[in-house]
Structure 1
Amino acid sequence: MTTKNISRRPCTFEMADAGDDTLSELSKTPSVFTLNVTENVTESRLKAVKDSIAEEVNILEKIQEPHEDDVTEMIQAYDLLTWLEFKVGCEDKAEEFNKKALALAGEENRAAFSLGNRAHLMWSQGDVDQTMVCLSRLAPLRQGGAQEQCTAAIQGGQAYCLLRLGGLSNLLNSLTLYEKALSTKPQSCLWVLQAGRVYKRLAHPNFLKKGEKIDKELKAKREQNARICFQNVSQQSSNPRLKAMAFSDLANMGSISRLPRRDIQHLCDEALKHDCQSPYVLLHCGKSLVWIDISKAKGLLEEASNLRPSSHVSFELGRCFFSMSKKYPCRAEYYQNEAEKSYRESVRLAPNNMPARYSLAVLLWDIGRIEEARKECMRIIATVKAQDQCYAQTLMKAYEKAAICQLELCQDKEFVANLTPPISVSSLKEGAENMLLIALEMGYNLLSQREIEIYLRPSLVSLAHISFDKKDTSSALQMISTVFHYAKQPRYSLQALDKLLDHVSDAPKDIIYVLKSYHDLRSYEKAYALLQMYTTRLGPSVISHDLHQQLALSAAYARLRFDSRHAAQIFKSLFYLCKQTRDSLRAGQTHGKPSPSSGALPQPKPSDTSASDQALDVLILHDEPRDPSALGLIFRELQQAIISVFGLNVSRNLKGCYEPGQKQKLLFKEITKAEVVLVLLGPDPMRPYFEGVLDFLPGFMEKSEDNPVPPRILIACTNDSVEVQSPVSVFPKTPFIAPVVASLKAVEQRCQDNDEALGVTSDMSEDRVSAIVGDVLSFFCCLTSIDWQPPSDMTH
């Protein structure tokens, strides 16, 4: 037997000296040697596949009366073993398996793929004569009426090879070949079963990335296609071995998708009824029954291990023992020892079985052998490449578990005492932090948001605790924001932030960091409460005017959505923040624009009440004809809504203002008393007396001794059909007032009648609720001349 290193066994046609015609014909001959294997198949992977297929062949060869599908599968296995032995340098074994394939295939169409393999094998050995013999035998099989059947047989053989080699590209190409082969020979239950296995493997999260997320629709589609394939085989195949495997695959998929227990039990019973000696069937039924009948599952897995010891079976047996250690605490130590033996046997049989190695690490962690668990995780990290999709989730979990082990070891005094430079507790913690971030980044790309919180919860909790251990507030808050980036749900970050509060200094920088962090985590009420606390304790100069407004409006937004009864308190406080500047200017205390730091949110004092009865928050002017009008109705609804929703004083004064000789004097008195003048305009023509009122308004924009701070004058049109003409066209406009009034009424009605906040109901959609809140806040911002950035969770 000739054995050569795999690195020195390139399969190239130039290894023999022959004519170009022969070389050209050979390059067009389908075989495993010319198969487009797109994945980087490692030597260890080749060996694992070779050993697995060899064990399956041993079982197939023992069948007394093989079915046609059994013979076809043996030919497929021999063909792939031919190439695998050749790749590892065992040419004698490769030729032996090729002869077995040809002997089983005979001169039928299914011999075409095996003949192609032999032609390439002979060519690589320099035997041109045998190469030509193989090509001449292939010619009649690929011509005439048998051409389609021959092509289908070749496609089936190629698809099997790609399926067994694995990898995303190989599996996708395998699926394409199976679909082509089945279009010619749909009655092949073997190919249908194998296509189902391709669909099943492609439904794994590692193969379902859409951009940076899992494509759930594609996952469901592939799982459904796999079930259809297995169901067809279980119903149509006359081969009990295939039927048993199809039932066991259905049971395995059912256990993953949480089918009712009786359905899984029934599928396992059907599988075992048709073939109770198949290691494949015993393995999959054992896996499926672990959460239903753990004792029976253990027996099936042990039987499978006795029939055909394999890394996979030992791994599943270890998982079964580990589950039994949880179910039967009185015998936990015994089952833990058995689980460890099984996991170590699995790793011994296949050192690259990373899920088995990770499960061993979890077991060691569970029984308190933290340092050993960390070492196993570090072996996974050192072995698996980040781009290896087959083990992406295992690598992600290994990073997380290794980090948690390191953090735990940092609390072990004996372990810490034995550390030698340059390794220290701080370096271990820093390394753990980096590994947790890597795990979360991988999870962010692999898992859904819900799965991140389920499977990576230890990482989120650990990072939240790490943030609490940070020495400076800004570093802690940066880590908290990182946790929020991955978790999206803010509870982990908020827990850490709450712990951090007692350690925050009174430095303005730290306070602003904390306030912004609570705001970014959508804890608007907490941010607003802290704003009031810090303002009361440290004075209004600590926090900027703009941040005051942002926090207050976000809190108002939250109350509109969740507790509308108390939103008016925030609106009124914020309105008086703006009014405070006007009052101070009237008293001659300041001149010009208010400083950015002068904006505390003062709650109205008891003494403010009498003053506010005399001063007006909002004065509404509108044309009021003798007959009831739509404009008058809108005015009354707007007036009541501003009082109820915003908590402001609202008045109008038209009567008596328009008598001869009194118009200008009374109008001046009322307008200068108001903070905001709202001019309500409708589509109907205005009466002359109201046009005269509008003529006076531009004069109030000029400062004077009696009018040191002119009121804010706004034009409120009922809808887009209203045309604003000179002289009031110079004033800013509010949003169209009719929809605003409708939204204000919705909030007012909900508060008064139901005593609850706005919420999604059968007659009010999420979009409608967002639109109402948006209208209310936009109108208030117009009244107060505030530029506000809506929260990210506000869709309107």
Structure 2
Amino acid sequence: MSTRGPAWSTMATKNTFQGTKAFKIPGAMDEIGDKLVNTPSVFTLKVSGTLNTVSRLEEIKIVLTEEIKHLEKLPELLEHDREELAQAYDLLTWLEFKVGSQKKALELNKKALDLTGAAFSLGNRVHLMWCDGDSVETKVCLSRLARLKREDSQGNQKAETHAHQAYCYLRFGGLNNLLESIALYEKALSTNPNCYLWKLQAGRVYKRLAHPNFLKKGETIDRDLKAMREETARSYFQDVSQHSPNPRLKAFAFSDLASMASIKGDPPHLIRQLCDGALEHNCESPYVLLHCGKSLIRTDISKARQLLEKASDLGPSSHVSFELARCLMNLSKKTPRSAEYFRSEAEKSYREAVRQAPTNMPARYSLALLLENCGKVKEAQKECMKIITTVISQDQCYAQTLMKAYEKAALYQLELCNDKEFVENLSPPVSVSILKDEAENMLIIALEIGFNLLSRTEIETRLRNSLASLFSISLNKKDTSEALQLLSRVFGYAKRPQWSLLALDKLLKHVSDDPDVVVFALKSYHNLGSYEKAYALLQMSIARLGSSAIDDNLHRQLALSAAYARLQFNNRHASLIFRSEFKRCCVKTERLHGAQSPSTVSLTEPEQGDNPACDQSLDVLIFYDDSRDGSQGLSTLGSICRELQKAIQSVFGLNVSQNLQRCCAGGPQIALQYEEMTRAELVLVLLGSEPMCPYFKSFLSFLPALTVRSKDNPKPPRVLVAPTDGSVKVPFVVSLFAKTPLIEPLVASLNAVVERCQDIDSGLCATGTSDPAGHSMETHVRDIMSFFCCLISTEWQSPCTKSATEKDKRKD
């Protein structure tokens, strides 16, 4: 499915329309464009979260579509049912638009308008018409909105709009989105305090905000805030359960109360009473059945299984399958005689959960643990490697699950290395030593992730197996120097080592926080080729001594060498380093411009939430001449752009967008395209060998001004010219910008690395030395590194090139 769509509709932390335009183009409908800024719709929400991948959008779409089906099947739509259905239509409108299905988006928007005629739905219509280039219909919709606003003397329409906006933020999730959602719900409820749908939804926001992920205060949980949010959620649910005239909403409220009671550990009879209340009002809702089933797992597991199986029959979903599997696993522990049967059924449910939502990482990780318990270590290792691959492609939505997946994948691999039958079936170039080295690297990466996520004490409890395994590996190393290096790394991550062996106590005396000693150790690791260990020590040293203790050039050299090593030896986690270095480059550029970077804090203190390591700015915008793209498909240049976008996202972990559809056809899209460029950290001008259309060529003349800081452009992006091949003639107006390596061979190298990671999903194969075309993987990696160095405006010499140079010098 196409991922193209107007880049301005990408919701990010930066506002899409900020201030006045930097230039004026005749016929750009500036007056209408300015009105769009204040037109409430899903398109103008400022949302934090990983919504830049098709798979993430599809996940939300699937859930919404199922909910809509159940709402549409209700025998009678009450007032709040109609509003909730309109809310779902509105959000699904935007999701369809984002994945390129504008026809479906228009159909859903019409359904929403026919259902309630809400101002929010009309706002979506305005943006759909604007993107379609229909200025007449756009003006008609704006007039209707203005009339609704004039007639809204009691503020009910405004409150309804706030509630619709809050609903969208709720469905997107993440700390910032949930906080924005609750603020809007409170505004709406201040106008209409008896809207039980809004109270129910607001209660769910408070309930989610009471999760520990959203309550971290340094290394502790803010218990007062947790208690306040739980109490507010409970009061809203109780109000709905007691006073709402809608039985469906009452059932939802009872089931949410049951879920909270189960988490809190309330008496079993109270949980059963709440579940009975929910089922009495609606026993056919998958949501009610799911939450009641979850709540009863500890107190009435037979009833829980019955409810979850019914929920699966009525509305199969990944969440339902996951909870049913958990229920079956509990049954296997309570009934030893039938344990094998229940484990088998649980495995089926876990696999179904993963099939329904491949990015359901908790389900996949639970499946791996179950396979381990059943003695299927090789299959468990495969599932962990799939987590590593998928989470990276999803911008690490599950950082802690990723950490545990690295640890488990490594431990499984070490266990397989002790399996005689497995070892006998190995064939060159795979060997036990290679597999053990890979496992060691995975353990180090698990600790590296944990170092940035966990507290001082949590590392030793939650990653104890990693620490113990690395300790054991170090004792078995023949090289004493390597053993000491690894042991020092163990202590570095443990922070408060609790090991009692005298030899390790002596080693601690050699660990120093003297910056000169640290720099010497970093350079020594790098010169010895221990790039992963050098980078791990770099991270630890920055956390202890601060970033100023390490020279910027040394930092960059160590980071790029580690990224090179990860790509060279098939390590899928190189994107962490690439993304971090790209952000460091952006921060440095912004400081040179005198602008304060909003992402500076996130480089050292990730946001605590669903995705603590995620930065939502637009990193790269690829601008190309799309005039040859049409209904028959993409042009050659369009296909190259699409491949480049996907590869940059996969390999470098950057947020990448393309130019607006039809921006090269003139008209209002040109002004919007310029606005979008100011959001990007880097604009990549992709040039092909075909003749340029006049509008694209004229637009290039604006690019030099784009890099100049001004009141309307306080953080100008960097601009690079990216020719596809050697025959491309770069126009004079952009000839002064730096040029990247040729894009066509680069895309081939990027795809070679991506395809290799996809093919080796078992994680048990050694790194390939060449691709099917016979090109050296090392060559591909060097091409990728050269391109990335161009993106961050730096130079870097690959280790293999450096070694060759040193050999030549010795010969001379």
1:141 aligned partner: 148
2:2 aligned partner: 5
Question: Equivalent residues in 2 for 1:192-271 (5 A)?
Answer: 192-210=199-217, 215=222, 217-271=224-278
Contact 1:152/1:185 (<8 A) preserved:
yes
Deviations 1:303-354 (A, max 9, x none): 0010011111111112222222222222222222211211111111111111
Q: Tell me which of 152, 173, 176 is aligned to 1:169.
A: 176
2:376 aligned partner: 369
Q: Tell me which of 419, 423, 441 is aligned to 1:416.
A: 423
Q: Tell me which of 361, 366, 370 is aligned to 1:354.
A: 361
Give 1:412 deviation, angstroms: 0.7
Task: Kindly provide the amino acid, as one letter, of the partner of residue 156 in structure 1.
Answer: A
- Determine helix, strand or coil for the equivalent of 1:146: coil
How many correspondences in the alignment?
497
- Determine helix, strand or coil for the equivalent of 1:419: coil
1:335 aligns with 2:332: no
2:138 aligned partner: 131
2:810 aligned partner: none
2:49 aligned partner: 39
Contact 1:82/1:98 (<8 A) preserved:
yes
Q: Tell me which of 38, 51, 70 is aligned to 1:59.
A: 70
Contact 1:167/1:390 (<8 A) preserved:
no
**Whole-angstrom CA distance in 2 between matches of 1:483 and 1:224:** 42
Question: Equivalent residues in 2 for 1:235-634 (5 A)?
Answer: 235-385=242-392, 388=395, 390-447=397-454, 452=459, 455-471=462-478, 483=490, 491=498, 493-494=499-500, 497=501, 512-513=506-507
**Whole-angstrom CA distance in 1 between matches of 2:340 and 2:149:** 63
Instruction: Identify if the C-alpha distance between structure 1 residues 396 and 234 changes in structure 2 by more than 3 Å, giving closer, same or farther.
Output: farther
Instruction: Identify if the C-alpha distance between structure 1 residues 433 and 291 changes in structure 2 by more than 3 Å, giving closer, same or farther.
Output: farther
**Whole-angstrom CA distance in 2 between matches of 1:410 and 1:90:** 49
1:160 aligns with 2:157: no
**Whole-angstrom CA distance in 2 between matches of 1:471 and 1:249:** 58
Q: Tell me which of 132, 151, 172 is aligned to 2:158.
A: 151
- Determine helix, strand or coil for the equivalent of 2:392: coil
Give 1:256 deviation, angstroms: 2.6
Instruction: Identify if the C-alpha distance between structure 1 residues 189 and 485 changes in structure 2 by more than 3 Å, giving closer, same or farther.
Output: farther
1:651 aligned partner: none
Task: Kindly provide the amino acid, as one letter, of the partner of residue 39 in structure 2.
Answer: T
**Whole-angstrom CA distance in 2 between matches of 1:513 and 1:78:** 63
Question: Equivalent residues in 2 for 1:98-137 (5 A)?
Answer: 98-106=109-117, 111-137=118-144
Give 1:55 deviation, angstroms: 1.0
Instruction: Identify if the C-alpha distance between structure 1 residues 71 and 340 changes in structure 2 by more than 3 Å, giving closer, same or farther.
Output: same
Task: Kindly provide the amino acid, as one letter, of the partner of residue 92 in structure 1.
Answer: K
**Whole-angstrom CA distance in 2 between matches of 1:127 and 1:514:** 71
Give 1:212 deviation, angstroms: 6.4
**Whole-angstrom CA distance in 2 between matches of 1:225 and 1:478:** 52
Question: Equivalent residues in 2 for 1:730-749 (5 A)?
Answer: none
**Whole-angstrom CA distance in 1 between matches of 2:326 and 2:394:** 27
Contact 1:286/1:297 (<8 A) preserved:
yes
**Whole-angstrom CA distance in 1 between matches of 2:198 and 2:245:** 14
**Whole-angstrom CA distance in 2 between matches of 1:15 and 1:114:** 30
TM-score, normalising length: structure 1: 0.58
1:86 aligned partner: 97
Q: Tell me which of 29, 34, 39 is aligned to 2:39.
A: 29
Give 1:476 deviation, angstroms: 5.6
**Whole-angstrom CA distance in 2 between matches of 1:161 and 1:347:** 25
Instruction: Identify if the C-alpha distance between structure 1 residues 27 and 342 changes in structure 2 by more than 3 Å, giving closer, same or farther.
Output: same
Contact 2:50/2:394 (<8 A) preserved:
no
Contact 1:60/1:70 (<8 A) preserved:
yes
**In terms of Rg, which structure is larger?**
1
Query: Does 9-18 or 188-197 show the bigger shift?
Result: 9-18
2:612 aligned partner: none
**Whole-angstrom CA distance in 1 between matches of 2:284 and 2:152:** 40
1:685 aligned partner: none
Contact 1:205/1:446 (<8 A) preserved:
no
Provide structure 2 residue ranges, at least 5 long, that are not aligned to the other structure. Answer: 10-16, 18-23, 512-812
**Whole-angstrom CA distance in 2 between matches of 1:291 and 1:421:** 50
**Whole-angstrom CA distance in 2 between matches of 1:34 and 1:340:** 43
Give 1:170 deviation, angstroms: 2.2
**Whole-angstrom CA distance in 1 between matches of 2:91 and 2:26:** 23
Task: Kindly provide the amino acid, as one letter, of the partner of residue 65 in structure 2.
Answer: A
Deviations 1:222-260 (A, max 9, x none): 334333332332233232222221222222233233333
**Whole-angstrom CA distance in 2 between matches of 1:260 and 1:433:** 46
Instruction: Identify if the C-alpha distance between structure 1 residues 443 and 24 changes in structure 2 by more than 3 Å, giving closer, same or farther.
Output: same
Task: Kindly provide the amino acid, as one letter, of the partner of residue 313 in structure 2.
Answer: N
Contact 2:256/2:291 (<8 A) preserved:
yes
Instruction: Identify if the C-alpha distance between structure 1 residues 463 and 354 changes in structure 2 by more than 3 Å, giving closer, same or farther.
Output: same
- Determine helix, strand or coil for the equivalent of 1:283: helix
Give 1:457 deviation, angstroms: 4.0
- Determine helix, strand or coil for the equivalent of 1:394: helix
Give 1:451 deviation, angstroms: 5.0
Instruction: Identify if the C-alpha distance between structure 1 residues 232 and 396 changes in structure 2 by more than 3 Å, giving closer, same or farther.
Output: farther
1:20 aligned partner: 30
**Whole-angstrom CA distance in 2 between matches of 1:332 and 1:140:** 66
Give 1:153 deviation, angstroms: 1.0
Instruction: Identify if the C-alpha distance between structure 1 residues 468 and 230 changes in structure 2 by more than 3 Å, giving closer, same or farther.
Output: farther
Instruction: Identify if the C-alpha distance between structure 1 residues 181 and 136 changes in structure 2 by more than 3 Å, giving closer, same or farther.
Output: same
**Whole-angstrom CA distance in 2 between matches of 1:443 and 1:216:** 23
Contact 1:213/1:444 (<8 A) preserved:
no
Contact 1:17/1:126 (<8 A) preserved:
no
Deviations 1:627-670 (A, max 9, x none): xxxxxxxxxxxxxxxxxxxxxxxxxxxxxxxxxxxxxxxxxxxx
Instruction: Identify if the C-alpha distance between structure 1 residues 259 and 465 changes in structure 2 by more than 3 Å, giving closer, same or farther.
Output: farther
**Whole-angstrom CA distance in 2 between matches of 1:278 and 1:361:** 31
Give 1:264 deviation, angstroms: 2.2
Instruction: Identify if the C-alpha distance between structure 1 residues 75 and 289 changes in structure 2 by more than 3 Å, giving closer, same or farther.
Output: same
Contact 1:153/1:181 (<8 A) preserved:
yes
Contact 2:410/2:438 (<8 A) preserved:
yes
What is the percent sequence identity of the aligned residues? 63
- Determine helix, strand or coil for the equivalent of 2:123: helix
Give 1:15 deviation, angstroms: 13
**Whole-angstrom CA distance in 2 between matches of 1:481 and 1:102:** 64
Task: Kindly provide the amino acid, as one letter, of the partner of residue 328 in structure 1.
Answer: T
Instruction: Identify if the C-alpha distance between structure 1 residues 258 and 420 changes in structure 2 by more than 3 Å, giving closer, same or farther.
Output: farther
**Whole-angstrom CA distance in 1 between matches of 2:226 and 2:429:** 47
Task: Kindly provide the amino acid, as one letter, of the partner of residue 198 in structure 1.
Answer: V
Give 1:459 deviation, angstroms: 3.1
**Whole-angstrom CA distance in 2 between matches of 1:233 and 1:371:** 50
Instruction: Identify if the C-alpha distance between structure 1 residues 152 and 514 changes in structure 2 by more than 3 Å, giving closer, same or farther.
Output: closer
- Determine helix, strand or coil for the equivalent of 2:298: coil
Give 1:129 deviation, angstroms: 2.4
Contact 1:311/1:349 (<8 A) preserved:
yes
